[in-house]
Structure 1
Amino acid sequence: MKFNGLLSAITIASSISALSFNQHDDQIVLSNLNSEKSHSPLNEIYSQFDTVENKQFISKIWSDLSSEFSENKLIQLVNQFNNRKSLPKNNQYKAFTAASTQFETLSNDKFNDYSLRIKSTHPEILGLDTVQQYTGYLDVQSLDKHFFYWFFESRNDPKKDPIILWLNGGPGCSSSTGLFFELGPSKINSTLQPVNNPFSWNNNASVIFLDQPVGVGYSYTNSEEVVSTEAAAKDVYVFLELFFQKFPQFIQNEFHIAGESYAGHYIPRFASEIINNADRSFELSSVLIGNGITDPLIQAGSYKPMACGEGGYKPVLTPEQCHQMEKDYPKCKILTKLCYDFQNPLTCVPAQVYCDNKLFQPYAQTGLNPYDIRKKCADEGGNCYVEMDYMDDYLNLEYVKKAVGAENIDIFTSCDDTVFRNFLLNGDEQKPFQQYVAELLDHNIPVLIYAGDKDYICNWLGNFDWVNQLDYKDGEIFAKKPLKHWKTLDDGKIAGEVKNYKHFTFLRIYDAGHMVPADKASESLDMVNRWISGDYSFGHKD
């Protein structure tokens, strides 16, 4: 979940690496804005493009993008990018001292640069739930990276119930969004008081909320910034190894990873990291991805139909705009294919910039909520939901920070612009991650892709399209399976549509936006409870 600052981020991206792109004699001239100095590594990448037409096309796209901004503006943006280390960070923090908070520390010779801190006094004093709960940090000493986590045991039977790791997206958004706005044991009201959530996912599972990558939420760093999903994968894997070392009583419990939005990148890659570590001490039972961005090439093609009345909601754009988006998608597709082939900033940033400008911005200019096509943003600050402001204010209270061991954080923000910008400038968003989903399925790891059908930014049409085109061993069989009604167990109400074959499931959830547990709390609990119990078809048998 990340929307505010998108236009400025796109502008900065168009001047990545202080380079402008101009076409001359059928070659790209890669030049510094102040000189004509050649950059041979970029020319070498460019020379690998397979056709003259692709070379000409990428040249034209960069030329079109550059022409939208004056030279002075580009120079200003480039200087900002080059000096990014000195830019103010949203998530400011004080130097940590051991005396400020009492922690128990756990280390492992296998991961000698990592340690896990666990607060010795638990945060039950905050009154979020009556269950056992733990907070602390994963520390990477040499890189000065510190990842915050909050763990709630199950309300039911923690000795036997599954463990769920929850990850929010962004990139750059705290998993406290899931904790306090969606699926956690309490939500925060306008007076900054916790209100019990009867539909919390810890009703029948123990849940870990992890702030990652570093710099997000209560996590912090003073040096090493994570700029890609790939770089984040090892940190999350080591966190889980140390977590299960600290809590060995849970190592035989089923373990699932769930999340939404940019977690469509995170979860497939993190899950791949787990199953490819043969000496792991725990097993992965399944993954759940809600309204994720996983296959940008296919999902970009869903913006036009979703905005133009083909996704189950009325059109919100004019016929002329819809026609133009249809014309623009093939260019987006060509650029994204180049990104998929080469997976570097030179190929992926142009694809991201072009596709966002041409396919997302027509919707953004309507003023409608990107996370719910039915309404405008309730909060003009960028979060779109006033409840997110309550959460931010609550997590900035000194007694809350003290209770969880985060006194060293000066300012908590639900989404960090620095992390968002770093990922964008690395081209991470436009890269493919569906191949990791195929890998999981071919290793017989169950996968649930669920989507609220009133979301726009990661809408259900795009998610439905990519799962039907996924290349894995049972892909052709899955693609032919029809959508069927999904009925909740408690009251038999039709809550959406489901498509399943063996351990792969797609679930459309009626009348929910981007954050399904916030919009459809009862239905989302029905979904997660049935999934972790092994009901992958949601009641439908072949």
Structure 2
Amino acid sequence: MKFSVASVAAFSMAMSVVSAFSIPEIPLLQQNPLGGLDQVQDAISMSPATVSALKDIASSAGERIQDVSAEILHSWAQIEHEFPGGLKRYLQTTAQQDTRFEPKKLAANRNTKWIAKHTMESAPGHVLRVADPSSLGLDDVQQYSGYVDIEEEDKHFFYWFFESRNDPKNDPVLLWLNGGPGCSSMTGQFFELGPSSINEDLTLTWNPSSWNQNASVIFLDQPVNVGFSYSSNRVKNSRAAAEDVHKFLSLFFDKFPKYAKQDFHIAGESYAGHYIPAIATEIQSHSDKNYNLTSILIGNGITDERTQVEYYRPMACGEGGYPAVITPEECDKMERDVPKCQRLVDLCYSTNNRIACVAPNFYCNAVTMGAYQQTGRNVYDIREQCGDSDLCYEQEDWITAYLNQPHVLEAIGAEVEVFEGCKNDVGIDFVFDGDHNRPFHYDVADLLDDGLPVLIYAGDKDFICNWLGNQAWTDTLDWTDAESFFLAETRNWTAQVPTKHGKTKAVHAGTVKNAGKLTYLRVFDAGHMVPFNQPETSLDMVNRWIAGDYAFKG
């Protein structure tokens, strides 16, 4: 599953299946996929366990397996034939979806001082609560944290806001989202682009390259049950999540109207390649909104699975700017298997059927990630081994430890008993809803045609959402200026970074391609989390973008 840094848990679940192809299944069921007793053409052979799991997947979406096309069911039969035992274990997760979900436990005795509670007349039952976390010392700017409560749905979204260090009355506002699905934006705040990072001894280090140098930044934990957010209900796909984000933003800007008149950008990485196009589409569908979206930025995203999946082999086999990390035989096998994966994704794209969209998750992970995983390398940075941390970065453990300190939880207004950087249950819900393989590049095309600027940037040492795949889908995107973008020159990108003497110097930071409102930026020597590997050049990138230099010619 090509998820973000904090979703390795869901990724590992799939990959543990890949290494367990050992239990044979006897194909016992001959089923007519169209459900007509007198029109049996191509009988489909699948085990009862697989059929039962597919029925569950279909019924939870209000569908019937009898109505699923023969082509879709044939695809599942072929997967089962190729990976019998592994598929069985993978689908067992489906049966546990509802029984394993438990709402987060809330803390009983936490004495947060709420400095404000705000409601909006046009949205009864929606409440924004505000705490002042400045005592923690992350930054010396105005900051707020707390929750937006959607009471009728029992949804509670945690946010943390930092004003711009420069000119908050006039500087843009930027919403940051980490991916997963199921991963907290506290990763972005403390590991990548926020005002301070966490050390091993849980002390703070000031970040001079924080993205709030010239923008006010909101870090939001979404969907519900991610990070500090909580609910007794579940959100299982990007479209539903997008509706909630718009509700959050409407209430936030209603409480703080001084920010609503400024430019507003949405940025994020990895699975935010799904989130952000869906959110932007949702926002633009509301003509009566109290804020205006200026642009979107997606870093090392997964947006067009069908196109991007083709580029795992080149990246692993020495064609992406780093030496090969798997054998020629493994490269050849990936070359043979990826077209099968693409045919599965094509079925998802053409039908939008849940059963069709779940199928590629298992097969495509098996054929694109298996050999790479065996190397022990970090999926987020091809140059490194993963190490002992579950998420490949020990800093993630430090962040979790810091945020679970009682004085921190109280200061920020956190209501959950324990903070988790990634919620595996949320990721699995998205997987079995088929969300991962659904196309979101069509949204990007529509947004561009509506005049919204879009920046796609990619660190060129990431494997899991690599720069080759992101370059490919932007090159083939069907939109008004598609031909101009395809033919546009790829230029060197020179970033201005600070020196030790308080001046700036120019560095060759990557390459850039632009036409109309679309820009693609390759960032040299950065992995999946560009601001972590290249803090200074990424700050130059975001500063120039929010200043309107969409072509990076300044």
- Please, what TM-score do these two structures have when normalized by structure 2? 0.89
Aligned mate of 1:102, from 109, 114, 117: 114
Aligned mate of 1:531, from 545, 550, 553: 545
- State the shift of 1:4 in Å: 2.9
- 8 A contact 2:53–2:94 mirrored in 1: no
Aligned mate of 2:464, from 448, 457, 460: 457
- State the shift of 1:194 in Å: 1.2
Q: Equivalent residue of 1:302, what SS? A: helix
Distance 1:405 1:500, change over 3 A: same
Aligned mate of 1:114, from 118, 121, 126: 126
Structure 1 residue ranges without an equivalent (≥5): 15-19
Q: Deviations over 1:172-228 (max 9, x none)?
A: 11101111000000001111011100000000000000000011111111x211111
Distance 2:239 2:287 in 1: 19
What percent of counterpart residues are identical?
47
Q: Equivalent residue of 1:6, what SS? A: helix
- State the shift of 1:111 in Å: 2.1
- 8 A contact 1:22–1:59 mirrored in 2: no
Equivalent residue runs for 1:99-498 within 5 Å? 101-102=113-114, 104-119=116-131, 122-221=132-231, 223-378=232-387, 380-406=388-414, 408-489=415-496, 490-498=504-512
Q: Equivalent residue of 1:394, what SS? A: helix
Distance 1:82 1:95, change over 3 A: same
- 8 A contact 2:202–2:398 mirrored in 1: yes
- 8 A contact 1:530–1:536 mirrored in 2: yes
- 8 A contact 2:268–2:297 mirrored in 1: yes
Corresponding residue for residue 26 of structure 1: 42
- 8 A contact 2:117–2:128 mirrored in 1: yes
- 8 A contact 2:112–2:410 mirrored in 1: no
Corresponding residue for residue 36 of structure 2: none
Aligned residues: 520
Distance 2:162 2:199 in 1: 20
- State the shift of 1:108 in Å: 1.9
Q: Which moved more, 1:260-269 or 1:474-483?
A: 474-483
Corresponding residue for residue 499 of structure 2: none
- State the shift of 1:381 in Å: 3.2
Q: Which moved more, 1:20-29 or 1:183-192?
A: 20-29
- State the shift of 1:364 in Å: 1.4
Distance 2:134 2:52 in 1: 62
Q: Deviations over 1:359-389 (max 9, x none)?
A: 12211121000000001113x2321111111
Distance 2:530 2:52 in 1: 51
- 8 A contact 1:169–1:260 mirrored in 2: yes
Aligned mate of 1:520, from 534, 541, 545: 534
Q: Equivalent residue of 2:219, what SS? A: strand
- State the shift of 1:462 in Å: 0.3
- State the shift of 1:136 in Å: 1.1
Q: Which amino acid aligns with 2:551?
A: S
Q: Which amino acid aligns with 2:360?
A: A
Distance 1:74 1:259, change over 3 A: closer
Q: Deviations over 1:11-58 (max 9, x none)?
A: 7899xxxxx996667234677539989959444442374xxxx65444
- State the shift of 1:349 in Å: 1.2
- 8 A contact 2:46–2:80 mirrored in 1: no
Distance 1:36 1:170 in 2: 28
Q: Equivalent residue of 2:514, what SS? A: strand
Distance 1:32 1:12, change over 3 A: farther
- 8 A contact 1:30–1:43 mirrored in 2: no
Q: Which moved more, 1:367-376 or 1:489-498?
A: 489-498
The question of 1:85 aligning with 2:101 is answered yes
The question of 1:3 aligning with 2:21 is answered no
- 8 A contact 1:31–1:38 mirrored in 2: no
CA RMSD of aligned residues (A): 2.5
- 8 A contact 1:22–1:63 mirrored in 2: no
Distance 1:233 1:75 in 2: 27
Distance 1:38 1:241 in 2: 38
Distance 1:226 1:132 in 2: 32
Q: Which amino acid aligns with 1:430?
A: N
Distance 1:499 1:141, change over 3 A: same
Corresponding residue for residue 68 of structure 2: 46
Corresponding residue for residue 17 of structure 1: none
Distance 2:535 2:452 in 1: 26
- State the shift of 1:113 in Å: 3.5
Distance 1:196 1:21, change over 3 A: farther
Distance 2:165 2:494 in 1: 25
Corresponding residue for residue 66 of structure 1: 84
- State the shift of 1:343 in Å: 2.1
- Please, what TM-score do these two structures have when normalized by structure 1? 0.90
Distance 1:441 1:78 in 2: 37
Distance 1:81 1:240 in 2: 30
Q: Which amino acid aligns with 1:114?
A: H
Distance 2:50 2:265 in 1: 51
Q: Equivalent residue of 1:289, what SS? A: strand
Distance 1:213 1:142 in 2: 16
Q: Equivalent residue of 2:332, what SS? A: helix
- 8 A contact 1:123–1:404 mirrored in 2: yes
Q: Equivalent residue of 1:374, what SS? A: strand
- State the shift of 1:62 in Å: 3.4
- 8 A contact 2:197–2:206 mirrored in 1: yes
Distance 2:105 2:313 in 1: 39
- 8 A contact 1:132–1:153 mirrored in 2: yes
Distance 1:34 1:282 in 2: 47
Distance 1:521 1:32 in 2: 52
Structure 2 residue ranges without an equivalent (≥5): 21-26, 32-40, 497-503
Distance 1:37 1:184 in 2: 42
Distance 1:281 1:179 in 2: 26
Distance 1:36 1:372 in 2: 39
- 8 A contact 1:4–1:381 mirrored in 2: no
